[in-house]
Amino acid sequence: MAEKKETKTDTKTTEREYIIPLRNEWRKVANYRRTGRAVKFIKKFIARHMKIPERDASKVKLDQWLNQEIWFRGRKKPPAKIKVKAVKEGDIVRVTLAELPDFVKYEIAKSAKRHKIAEKPKEPKPAEATEEKKEEKTEEEKKEEKEKAQSAAETKATQAKVQSKQQKQSKVKETVIHRKALKK
């Protein structure tokens, strides 16, 4: 039997935790269809227990981390049971893992940080500061350009030496082996 813990936050939203037994359901089908059946059963189970009108499983939305947890071992070996948290908001029920693993928490924090950086607008810099930096950069850039030119010249010289050695060696070993026709 499934365990149930219920908490109501608002009159419109309901939050419950379930431990859903999947083994009895996925054993009914061929082993290459087991995980797909487990996902369908989770949706059906939540639709029944969260009292969705007409038990419409299309109104049950699974979290990406829950889906990843179910499919982790492949299509032939889904988990035997899984602990989930269901939150009903109007007609739609969102289902997530009740206890997130550490790596999932890390990934969520990482993606949230990435989104914050992307959303942060860049502030325009004062004109005076940019002009001073341009002058400094020009001096530094001049030095870098000289160094690059010297290194490019050195690499060209070493490549020329290597090519000349290869040409000398190829002249010595320039014997051609012709293929003889097979006699029948």
State whether residue 82 is helix, strand or coil: strand
Boundaries of every domain in the chain: 4-101
Q: Where are the beta strands (DSSP E) in 55-131?
A: 60-62, 81-89, 92-97
Q: Which pLDDT belongs to residue 161?
A: 86
Place of tokens 């010595």: 172
Question: Looking at the whole model, is its pTM more than 0.75?
Answer: no
What the block records as the tokens of 59 is 């109104």
What is the mean predicted confidence (pLDDT) over 37-58? 92
Q: How far apart are CA 89 and CA 58, in angstroms?
A: 14
CATH hierarchy code of domain 4-101: 3.10.440.10
Q: Taking 70 as the threshold, does the pLDDT of residue 86 lie above it?
A: yes
What is the mean predicted confidence (pLDDT) over 5-29? 82
HEC per residue, 4-59: EEEEECCCCEEEEEEEEECHHHHCCCCHHHHHHHHHHHHHHHHHHHCCCHHHCHHH
Place of tokens 């090519």: 163
pLDDT tens digits, 131-147: 566 566 678 888 888 88
